[in-house]
Structure 1
Amino acid sequence: MKKYSRMLKIMVLLLPAVCLFGQANDKLTGLEGSFKGTIMAMSKSRIQVTSTDNDSIILIYKDEGYYIPDNIVTKLEELRASKEVARFSWARRNKKHYLSDVAVKGQPAEPQEVMGGKKYEEDKKSKDVQSSELYIKAFGAYNNGNYTDAMSLCQAILVFNPKYTLAKKLKEDIDKKLKQKEAKAHLEKAVLLAGEGKLLEASGEWQMALSTSPDDADMAREIKKKKEEIIEEHNKKAMDLFNEDKLIEAAAEWNVILAIEKEDPVAKKGIETTNKRLNNYSSMERVKMEYETSLAAAKKEYDRKNYLTAIQDYQTAVKFASKLNKEKDVSYMLSEIKRIENLVESSRKVYLDSASRFADAKDWLNMSKELRDCLRIDPENKTALELLSAHQPEMFEARDKLYLEGLEAYGKEDLDTAILKWNSVLILDPSFEKASLNIKKAARKK
């Protein structure tokens, strides 16, 4: 009797170890994994899954404070009764392996349902109520055109309720609207740049508009129409210049066309014809043509107050004039270069002195205007650049104030005041695109 009693004690001591060994499995050493097999046993909180090669895994499907949902119990019982092969996934937490997913015939059961039970149902109901409240706000923001706030609300919904279908659908609609809005901003900027003659930059903005919203057929037609208008205008200029034998200027106009439409056949043919005619001229005729072109460009840049560019063009013209033995012209142009250099120097000093006085008076708008004028004639002026950098916070504060005043005036239909305010914004910050776009919008409304 004592012998059997001793054996019983040994078995009691070894039983936990045997149980632990039975749960041990190389497939459960990681943080998560999956196992394909059938249910062979079930307790109140665990299932035993056995694979086709007879490996067994014990998985916990219920934890303290949770109740297993009836539909999951039914699913597990059906699997056990039918011995149907399913895929069971788990996650390791606190040294325990919890059932995290059951997939039967490729149809998954929600991990939250498997682990959640009654508490999950309560949580789900609470989430749906919160999601519905946020969705109403998101939809209202969307209808008012406030797409950024609507998107933020949809994203918030989907963080804690990823399967809320209404939020998913609204998010897709907002994405489409935001892309259309971004594309429209590129389009408006392109039109602005084209109006300033910056066609290469405009072409880049058109391309950005098309890539942002490739399915917008109306915008594609609008861009095509605008390009055709610009091409027609520059082609007419080129032909007039060509007929006047101003071949280099004509080629420049055709090159403008090629900057926005690389394969334009008319422009390519025009440049080809121009090059042939240039090759037929004597070398001295070409020098004369280059001289006249450079001289005209210098005068044009001077009138625009682009003094440094004017000096460079005059210097180029001097080289060609020397080859043509135009001594009087060379003398005149050298005196012009000297005069412009003196003008730049004196203007630079006037602008900087004036800017310093405005800075002392905290008149950031006029300070910025003087410094911008200084940089126009001397783009790399160190003093002007340092002053702009040092007072940038104050300038931006003044910029924002003027921008809001412009919006207020626009709201009151006082378009002239709105445009004036936004032009002042651009003096303080030339890169402030909203002001540029609003000026154009107000001008169209007048």
Structure 2
Amino acid sequence: MIPFKLSDGLIEEIELLIDSKSDSALRMKMEDFHYADIAEIINELNFEHATYIIKLLDSEKTSEVLTELDENIREQILSNLSAKEIADEISELDTDDAVDIIAELPEDRVNEIIAQIDDKEHARDIVELLRYDEDTAGGLMAKELVKVNENWNVLTCVKEMRRQAENVTRVHSIYVVDNDEKLKGRLSLKDLLTTSTKAQISSVYIPKVDYVTVHDRAEDVARLMSKYDLEAIPVIDELGRLVGRITIDDIVDVIKEEAEKDYQLAAGITQDVEADDDVWVHTKARLPWLLIGMFGGLGAASIIGSFQGAMANPILLSFVPLIQATAGNMGVQSSAIVVQGLANDTIRGELFKRLGKEFILGLINGCAIALVVLIISHFLFQTSYLVSATIGVALIAVIIIAALVGTFVPIFLDKKGIDPAVATGPFITTSNDVFGILIYFTIAKLILGF
């Protein structure tokens, strides 16, 4: 299979076919493209051309295309489609994908679309999923699955599986329920094929099965599926009834979104933003952390101002950027490792043991850096032994404190239910800048006596 590659020439060709209303040629051109490739093409077209393609192609294909489009493009296209046209698209999708699309629309528009869906069972499933928060297992799950009753025999089970499988895109697992629809276990296809057709399912199924509840957090679901390498996981309600399943493609999206959010938080952006969002959205997302950084800088300036004796020593002042940069870098390194460990659920053991480990790491790194700086400062800057010693001792202390702060803060925030990713970036950098300056000049005052 030749990988799809988007080019200016292809875009120009498609635009020409649209402008000339060469529908047959355009359909033939799009026929062999994967729906994800068509979405990539549409993202590069203007609104009118994008809508033209969606209306031209069959809903069986365009429904999947809609799920892959950029949110802004999809919103524009849907605003130009009638409720019936959107309902036709929704009817071709699994319930989880259908909900992802219509949940972005106004409530009155959603009600109008659902009323136009011909398959009333499909419509009821969509309405049920819309009740769940999008960041929970209930908001992630799809209603399409294959389930069998523990009281059936194998022959009845196979017949029912064939019927149900017609509405399921991929059959990852066969779940077993009782007469009250409560999840009992899962069924091995091998056991099913090698067992007498008269045997009861209750004697064949595997009672051990991993599951999540409708209100479990999406991040917890992702962690569970990643830990046990699951392709799908069943979802139960408060009564233990099987109500849906979550597949690996949905979890990949969760992991991607969480990584993007953590990356932005680490960079000092307080809300989810896209590159194409307007200036006001970007300003609201960035300004809070920039203000924190500003106040941190003012705090550092006031600390420097309080050590008047240091003003008379320009060599001492020239090493302030080194102290700040080293403290910030060490703090970000420590916090980044802890945040990653918290996200992967690999942080184990007591907090004091972890802080002790970071103390040793900070001491080793601090001594190594201090030795290099001490040699360079003494021979290159011609500093006195006392000034060189001041810089070296300060560097060791600053690095140790930065490592401890970078480790403690994310763990503390996580225990308080706050995303630990906010600990990295500007927060750690600013706090360690202030601590670094305070420690530096305090040590300088003790050694140099100004």
For this structure pair, what is the TM-score category when the shorter chain's length is used for normalisation?
Answer: under 0.3
Q: Which has the higher contact order (CA 8 A, sep 6+)?
A: 2
User: Which structure has the greater CA radius of gyration?
Assistant: 1
User: Scaled by the length of structure 2, what TM-score is found?
Assistant: 0.25
